[in-house]
Amino acid sequence: MPDDTSTMSPTITSMIRLDHMHVLAAFHRYHATSPWWRKRAIVNSTCAALEIHAQLEEEIFYPALAAVIVDDPALSKSRPEHDEMRTTIGRLRTMGPENAAFDGLFHQLIREVIHHVADEETVLLPAAERALTSELRSLGAKMARRRLQLLGERPREIAVNTAGTFPLATLLIGSLAVLGITHCLPKSRRLRRDTD
């Protein structure tokens, strides 16, 4: 019997599609002419998102799909494609953006991911929507809970990479936060600070 949160959760297939869109958008933010620190932040952020996504699929989505669809070639090659992606991510993490091979290796990762996403979007997700209809929301809720656990293991990494990926937005949000905090201080503290 599903709990209340699973009836309000997006389906697991919707969540996977959103992950795909997030990563593809990150790929579009990467430019060979970007400063090294932004390249590093985009790559680190993208790699972390891909690692979490792959782990979620392997722990939750693939086992649920394998239980109802036997010997599917697209499903069979999904884990090896994740392993290939992890190998490329490992290589990226051992070099910096100043390395001449960095851009090419990131573009290799882009090609690997786009190929994998195409298989999932055209074969696996439609198959799951046919075969797992009654379970899609409960699996989505399970994936959301697990994602929060995995994100909780990397808060600093995620914050630093997000700031580097979106520097102007981070500056704006930080400025607004400081203004908000200043505005929320008791008037007596603000006056005292202004007279000092």
Tokens of residue 130, six digits: 């046919």
Q: Tens digit of pLDDT for each residue in 143-182?
A: 999 999 998 887 667 666 666 666 555 555 555 556 666 6
Min mean pLDDT across 21-30, 55-64, 100-109, 164-173 is at 164-173
pTM of the model: 0.78
Query: Of all helices (H) and strands (E), which one includes residue 100?
Result: none
| Structure confidence at residue 1 as a pLDDT band (50, 70, 90) | very low
Q: Is 82 helix (H, G, I), strand (E, B) or coil?
A: helix
Rounded to whole angstroms, how far apart are CA atoms 12 and 136? 5
